[in-house]
Amino acid sequence: LVSKVKQHFFSPPQPQTMARVTLYLLLTSASAFVAPSQQRSASSLNAYVPDGLDAGTWANMQKAKKTKAANNKLKYPKGAPQVVGVGQYLEELAKKQTFFKDGNGNTKVSGTGHKWAKVKFGEFTKEAYDEWRKNG
């Protein structure tokens, strides 16, 4: 029995067995070089569309982003018409200031006429500011 086992392990492989093993190895390794199947159908323009989105949704998202950027540019226009000199600013400020007398007869400022130099979020009015403060 021991001699048969030794003979089996140390005997040269059969030509048919070697051919089968070689064929198996060639077929399994060849599948690694096959291009993966396409999940999407090719569009006429082959435009980029992120995974998980269809072309219509992606187009709407891009259009909304461009519109938002254009509206933001309109909110902060460039150029000289927005620039007010110090003299003109102080004159307008003096016209807009309002005063009142408190209970002791002292003069107090009720409205300064101050303008904000830069508005970060939308239109800056007292109502908009109060709404912003209320919402936190």
Please report the DSSP string for 65-90 in residue order.
HHHHHHHHHHHS--SGGG---HHHHH
Give the range with max mean pLDDT: 10-14, 79-83, 88-92. Answer: 88-92
In terms of Cα–Cα distance, which of 114, 124, 117 is closest to 90?
114
Residue with tokens 């051919």: 19
Q: Examine the pLDDT at 9 and tell me if it is beyond 90.
A: no
What is the pLDDT averaged over residues 85-112? 83
Pairing verdict, β 107-111 and 98-101: antiparallel
Confidence of residue 61 (pLDDT cuts 50, 70, 90): very high
Q: Exposed, middle or buried, 50 (CB in 10 Å: 0-12/13-18/19+)?
A: exposed
Q: What is the pLDDT, as a whole number, of residue 64?
A: 96
CA 81 – CA 123 distance, rounded (Å): 18
For residue 57, pLDDT beyond 90: yes
Predicted confidence band at 40 (pLDDT cuts at 50, 70, 90)? low
Choose between 122 and 102: higher pLDDT: 102
* Tokens encoding 81: 């018409």
What is the model's pLDDT at position 95? 85
